[in-house]
Structure 1
Amino acid sequence: MLARLTTALFRPIDIAWLVVARIVVGFMLAMEMAGSLALGYTREYIEPKFHFSYLFFEWMPHWSPPVIIGLHLGAIVAGIAVAAGWRYRWAAVVLALCYTLLFLAEQTRFINHFYLYCLVAAMLALMPAHRAASADVRAGRVLPATTTPAWTRYLLLFQLSVVYSYAGLAKLNADWLMARPLAVWLAPKASYPVIGGLLGSAAVPWVMSYAGVAFDLLVAPLLLWRRTRPWAFGAAMFFHISNVLVFGLGTFPWFSLLVTGALFFPPDWPRRLPYVRQWIAARVPLPAATPTPVPVIPRSVPVLLAGLGLYAAVQLLVPLRHFLYPGDVHWTEEGHHFAWHMMLRAKSGSLSYRVVLPNGDTDVVYPANYLTRRQVNKLIGQPDAILQFAHFLAEDYAKRGHGQVAVYAESQVQLNRRPSRPIVAPTINLAAEPRTLSLYKWITPAPPLQ
């Protein structure tokens, strides 16, 4: 069994698809960072007096403005270098490192596609994507190749299938099936020119909700089946371009569409596509007519197999961890990150803190005095972030000589148009509550769906 698996994973396949994937990923990730710089998103890392962290990554430093700008510029240069195949291994490592450091720098900047970009950049660093049609080949730094091991394609196929499938499974909840989240997201878009009247229709959130579930759950298997692949890719084009028109979402829809095309069609598809095939033919020779019957198996295969198996297990299990917690994950947020939950909850409300000093005096603290607007908007609906900021306030008061204070959160939060209620118990001293993976018992029950 293991021998057959190893043979399948190391079977040589046409490298043409990997060349296109390298160019698409490098260019798109460079564009994402260029857009972040141009639109001023770097302020979200620079202006706040406090940065939210991921659990177990509290040790991450608060980067200075030059470092934040440098990470963005580094990602842009590295992305272009990856696309060109110039000093590819180093460029891919730098690209993955810049993205990962920025991802970990501010938890309220969590976006599913940013997380996906970190993963894909790291994967590319392990792949021989520079062995054809690259600056490294032209400079003689690496020997050219016409094939790549099949595991390179399978790994990316697996990752994209996980994203689609888990996004679909996450939509099988009462709020989504009652079109609540999309009704909230689409309401402000009724004023759009041309399509605004359509988006403001009461029926559109329902149609988009059920179409979204069907697309996410079915697109990967339908793309894998040759007979349905053209129709499934047509649906993917419609889905992702619709997202561009309605929600924007930066580079993500284009990235998803192009990478989907690069992965789910046969490895030699670039040789058949008009315009692309001429460019590929001039730079990537055809593989030998009779490929090596027995794939070349490197000595490091046990390590690679163990790594691939561990990675697959993490990607399959981590998105399911929210089932270990009672309650509605869209309310508690316990297990929300890294689970491919996309646009499933719309939260709004208010939040302030009562800081009780040792002498009994009470201060009312508003997060907006310390945080950016985006941070405040995210903080309001995330109990773990509410806890983090309570700890920060306690430490801040201690540094200013006030001693040990108690910190209470006063909140009113609405989820997907459900009735508003406090998201955390206002009687709990959050300064004394530890930050942990365990259940936060001070989170209130989710309001009922009406």
Structure 2
Amino acid sequence: MISMKRRNAAVVAAVSVMLAACGGGGNSDTDTGTSQPLLTTPATPTTPTIISPGITTQPANASVLTDGTATFTVAAAGTDVTYQWKKNGTAIAGATSKSYQTPAATFSDNGAQYTVVVSNSAGSVTSSVAQLTLKLSANQQAFENLILAPSAGSFYLHWNLNYAGGQTSGVNYAFSDYGVLPTSPLTTGPQTNSQSSPRNVTNTLALPVASSPTRVLKNGVVLVTGSSSKVSYVGSDVRVDSLAVDNATVAYSEIRSNYEVVPLTGAIASTPADFAHFHNSFFSNANILNATATYAAGSSYLKFAQTNKADRYNVFDCTTATTGAAVTPCRAGMTLTAAMTAGITSNSDGTVYRLTDGTVGTVDGVSVWVATTPRPVSATLSSTVQYRIYFELNGNVYTGALIKDGVLLGGSYYVSNPAGVTAADRLTFLPFDIRMNKAAHDSIVAAMKI
């Protein structure tokens, strides 16, 4: 017989074995209540699929004006692609987006070839070539049609002719000159244009001995302009830099725009008003042109506007006329302040200019006094707004006129009111300039009666 104590111990042991043999879903420890982890087989990691780069839309060719910008764009497929644009095969620093905008284009950029390399870890692909081409504006095309070789050139008339009556040789004159541009500034950069020698367009009047050149104060010296200029393109316009006699130093600059080509047909008497007014005395004085003469086939002229580029300080003789850099001073051995305090009389302006009538400043190290109010048109005989100046150079005081940056430059004038009391009453000043082709020039020469 088993004792009660031993029988209880056996039961406990049996229960313990039974509990140990039962798995169950609880996985709980009856003492602590904590969960026990299940043993599982880890999943095999998957590698992301990399899609190789491909170009779905190629960059397109672009055509821009000088100083314009072009934007090239590519569309690409692929995973995590990167971009690198190249110009003529050389990587462009920072050009790492799907689009690239060029800097302002110059003549040297014409024909430049752009590509883009699209890359990722699976490889790279290069786009087809997109080419940048410079194009002419309508203004520039009109300009080139007249002056660019093999054209016969751009012709200009110079004259001092009486509005009515006869002419006096040695006082009155009429001559022409012309310029031909060798190649286009569009693709070859700034081009030098040299005016021809003067041609007398009369049979009875002598050429002037010497025409007075334009002289300007620049970089602390007086520059004398020559017969050459440098032509370049700015946006849709034409820039003309007038050169000093050394044919290298820029004396002053103009921007030419608003070009208009006008045909000349029929009789001289039916000449368009702009052309006739610009060449006033030729058409107002019946003794100069044969009104029944006709224009040759293909005759035309070019009308355009001119704007001054940067402040321009023209220099004049104060007394005796000269043609070189040694202009005559208004005051010798005197400071600008002393001269202007005392006052200087300008006979052409009909004014006594004093220190308080303007302001004194420094231009390239030179003391310059500039009048507050513009010069009268009776003195300038131009629609160009000018301001009287006096400046001190090498111990003397000289005079001239300031044409401010951005001012519209006037061309010629004509007598619109012969009975007017003053020049301003009698004259109409024209805000444009004119050049003509050889056919028009030769037609005028053939019609001359003097």
Please tell me the TM-score bracket, short chain as reference. Answer: under 0.3
Bigger Cα Rg: 2
Normalised TM-score (structure 2): 0.20
Normalised TM-score (structure 1): 0.20
Higher relative contact order (CA 8 A, sep 6+): 1
